[in-house]
Amino acid sequence: MLVEYDTEFMAAALRESAQQVLELMYFLSAEPAQRDAIPEHAAAGILEIFAQVEFQGVWKGRLIVAMPETLAFTMAGNFSGALDEPGVGAGIMIESICEFANMICGNTITRLGCPGIVTLSPPHLIEEWPEEQPLASERWLDTGEGLVRVSLELEAAA
């Protein structure tokens, strides 16, 4: 059973959550990406880091983020306070990007007004972007340092 939501409301909540997390936790501003930059960016294979967090409870679903590796290192450096690339190892980058997905997921679920308890699984990397989901809301944001892709797939628990 699907959660009944206005898709525009859901997309706005997802975008606002991602923008807020980027600004408050990673010190990056982001605006919606220009439509003409998205296909070129995706086709070039620039999205190299993918993280996902699943959730269940009153609602179930998943949130996925993707970004270029260079942006992932910048975000990890900003999050951890490391001012140079040698200060950011792969482990810190992975933890930072997984936490990014976790924070956006919780923030978006809150904005959507979930009527009960939802448990988030530990966020983790995935190898590739999943097949297009007809019930997912997706947004692309431009940080000026690279594009971030976020998607929320939301279903009601059985």
pLDDT tens digits for 113-143? 988 999 999 999 998 878 766 567 889 999 9
Among the ranges given (33-42, 103-112, 147-156), the one the predictor scored with the smallest mean pLDDT: 33-42
In this predicted structure, the answer to whether residue 54 has a pLDDT above a threshold of 90 is yes
- Give a yes or no: residue 1 inside a domain: no
Q: Residue for token digits 């976020």?
A: 150
Find the CATH number of the domain harbouring 22. 3.40.1550.10
Residue 99 lies in a domain: yes
Residue 58 lies in a domain: yes
Provide the domain count of the chain.
Answer: 1
Q: Establish if 113 belongs to a structural domain.
A: yes
Note down the domain range covering 89: 7-156
Would you say residue 88 lies in a domain? Answer: yes
Sign of CA dihedral 78, 31, 150, 103: positive
**Alpha carbon distance 123, 153 (integer Å):** 15
Report, as an integer, the average pLDDT of 100-113: 95
Cα of first residue to Cα of last residue in the chain, in angstroms, is 7
Residue 2 in domain: no
pTM of the prediction? Answer: 0.86
